Amino acid sequence: MTCHDIFNTARTERAKCPLTEGRYKLEEALRAIERWQDFVTTVAARVRTGGKFGKAENLGPCMADERGPYLKGIPAQLARLIGYDILPAIAALEGDGVPKAEVQRLLSRAETDVQRLIDAREAVRLCPKGGISREYDAMCRGESELLAVLDTVDQVCKFWRVAVTVFPSSAQTQPWKKVINGLQVQH
């Protein structure tokens, strides 16, 4: 299954249980991306310096001896997160007090960004069928394809991360509008 397939399946699944508010789900999703970035950075640093992993060592989201399959699965998890949580959370921001027209504008922008991330070429590249050794080799050279992907998603989500901090609860008015209109995402 490609990342594109996983993304589409996640969107279909979410449609069966739509969100009524989006802010909390968007915050959860952004924290998940940050945890994956921290995990990949930790593994890459250890691999780059030639450090060894203890079999029972806890690396956060998995044990050290599970890191290969976990690293390999991050792109699929990310595709699911975007389809099941991030886009639906943006669509549900009206329940958090964001006006419908503004939600539509934000969602349109997000859809454009997501299509850039989850297109057919990226799906093949991000969900490799082979082993994780290529990623470890890149880490030894101070590179990481997974970290680059997560950094790209983080950059796209930067807009949402900042916007989440200024979205009002439904009891507040529109102090967020000026901030959102001034945000720029660097691609």
Q: What is the DSSP string of 62-107?
A: SBGGGHHHHHHHHHHHHHHHIIIIIHHHHHTGGGGT--HHHHHHHH
pTM over 0.85: no
Displacement of CA 87 from its chain's centroid (Å): 11
Tokens 């029972």 belong to residue: 56
Kindly give the confidence (pLDDT) of every residue in the chain, 187 residues in length, as a single tens digit, with 9 standing for 90 and above: 778 889 999 999 999 999 999 888 988 888 888 898 889 889 999 988 988 998 889 998 999 999 988 988 888 888 899 999 999 998 998 888 888 888 888 888 888 878 777 764 465 455 555 567 878 888 888 877 777 777 777 776 666 666 665 555 443 444 444 444 444 433 3
